[in-house]
Amino acid sequence: MMIVATAITRDTTMTDTAHRDGNVSAPGLPPLPRLSLNSTLALTGPVLVALPCLLAALLGLNTYAPYGADAAFGIAVGAAAVVAMAQTLILAARPPLVEPLFGGLDRMYRVHKWLGISAMVLMILHQQIEPDFERLVRETSLGELGEEAGELAFNALLALVAVSWFRRLPFIGLEIPYQLWRFSHRFMGALFAIVVFHQFFVDVPAGVDPTFMLVLNAFGIAGVVAWIFTELLAPHLRRRDFTVSQISQTGDTTTLMLTPKGRAMRWRPGQFAFVRAPEAGLSEPHPFTIASAPRPDGSLTFSIRALGGWTRSLPATLRTGTRVQVEGPYGRFDFRKGGARQIWLAGGIGITPFLAWAESLTEAERRDIHLVHCVRTQDEAIGLETLRAAAARNPSFSFEVVVTARDGRLTAERLIGAVPFAIRQADLWFCGPTGLKDGILKGLKAQGQTPRRVRFEQFEFA
């Protein structure tokens, strides 16, 4: 995405950026996770969520090995499925202390998605190799109820995970509306609670080592608690009230300035937040990059391009004084983690994090920074006042706007000529369509000007 990458909303999924900038994966297939190596923590989170699944599977194999290979394998994959599903619910709660382990919320949600897909595959295997302990257990009515509940939950979860996976239907390109997808997604926790009931009360052979069930039950309870927190508590604890203090329109981009009603939100330039406006009938939360640096009065700005029903409705539904709710901040897109020479490359509405960065630059900033903003038409160029003020304030910062309808496509050769230092000695921070990034990097490599590091966040969010 660059989730940060721009106003990241979408009506039909979580983000407009995929449609806006052409970063759309093959219809019906989930995009492969692309973990950036620019963060030393990029692989920590995925490893940490994989280990409990592996541990549960190994415990299941070892505990039920005396009952035969088929029974042990069936229990092992079922246990891994339960732990994977529990962790999807835990990650969906957006725990702030866990986000850094994945290198950002965008990557954490990628792992969340693949955990759900893995759980679906493991559930299918468990269903196909379901252990038969009828001759080895003393059946109880509660155990039979747990067995039936597990069957019900399996089929329902399978349907919901399939909806999440094939949100864009294969071959025909039809996309399930985001509102319907999100509504169905909220039942995941309830169905998982039924799975936990199943594992608590299903009849098992006498004398089985209880360690295995203790581990499964602990993860099961943690997953249910995380779901309850997400659905019932988080909306009240995490959302802050703001009011619309200014609203303006530039082409198809709506710029909102929001003023806090109570305690202000603290954020770093480049982060994003979820926005909803229930008073205006826009109750679904959508993520957008904060397009301003922190200010003394706590006000913040969002620049949102109209790409779907939700975003197109903003100018007609929001007014000065309208109450909105903001949840965040999220993301780890921070140029201060980069080197002394930096290139900021923005495509379209991908300028938003760079506007926040530019506003935060002070006279004391010693990094050499050159920003290139690519737009189709001059009307799409937003935030020019912010960029001019930053350039006047700090001589180490420069920028240019490339209007492709007038100037032609940005090429690697043109970028090399525009940047006032050697690109191979600089960090490239990117926010925009994947095609732009890939084309520029390919051209730079051919010219022997591969940047020291390339930093970006994912566009595809859900």
Distance of CA 93 to the CA centre of its chain: 12
- pLDDT of residue 144 exceeding 80, the answer is no
pLDDT, position 312:
87
What does the alpha-carbon distance between residue 314 and residue 291 come to, in Å, rounded to a whole number? Answer: 17
In the predicted model, what is the mean pLDDT of the chain?
A: 81
Strand 239-250: give its sheet, edge to edge.
282-289, 272-277, 323-330, 239-250, 253-260, 300-305
DSSP assignments along 170-224, one per residue:
TTT--B--HHHHHHHHTTHHHHHHHHHHHHHHS---TT--HHHHHHHHHHHHHHH
Give residue 2's pLDDT band: very low, low, confident or very high (50, 70, 90).
very low
Instruction: Give buried/exposed letters for 122-145 (b at 16+ CB in 10 A, else e).
Output: bbebbbebbbebeeeeeeeeebee
Question: Which has the minimum average pLDDT: 166-170, 202-206, 219-223, 340-344?
Answer: 166-170
pLDDT above 70: percentage of residues in the chain: 79
pLDDT, position 462:
44
pLDDT, position 235:
82
**Which residue is it, tokens 């140029």?**
335
Residue-wise pLDDT for 317-375, tens only, equals 999 999 999 998 988 889 998 999 999 999 989 999 999 999 999 998 899 999 999 99
3-state secondary structure 119-183: HHHHHHHHHHCCCCCCCCCCCCHHHHHHHHHHHHHHHHHHHHHHHHHCCECCCCCCECCHHHHHH
Residue-wise pLDDT for 415-448, tens only, equals 999 999 999 999 999 998 888 999 999 999 999 9
Measured from the Cβ of residue 263, the count of other Cβ atoms closer than 10 Å reads 9
**Omega before 329 within 30 of 0, i.e. cis:** yes
pLDDT, position 347:
92
pLDDT, position 453:
92
Exposure of 293 in the CB half-sphere (CA atoms within 13 A): 16
Give residue 17's pLDDT band: very low, low, confident or very high (50, 70, 90).
very low
Nearest to 247 by CA among 309, 322, 333, 135: 322
DSSP assignments along 12-57, one per residue:
SSS-SHHHHHT--PPTTSPPPP---TTSTTTTHHHHHHHHHHHHHH
pLDDT, position 368:
95
What does the alpha-carbon distance between residue 147 and residue 448 come to, in Å, rounded to a whole number? Answer: 63
Give residue 132's pLDDT band: very low, low, confident or very high (50, 70, 90).
low
Tell me what the mean pLDDT of segment 281-291 comes to: 89
Give residue 56's pLDDT band: very low, low, confident or very high (50, 70, 90).
very high
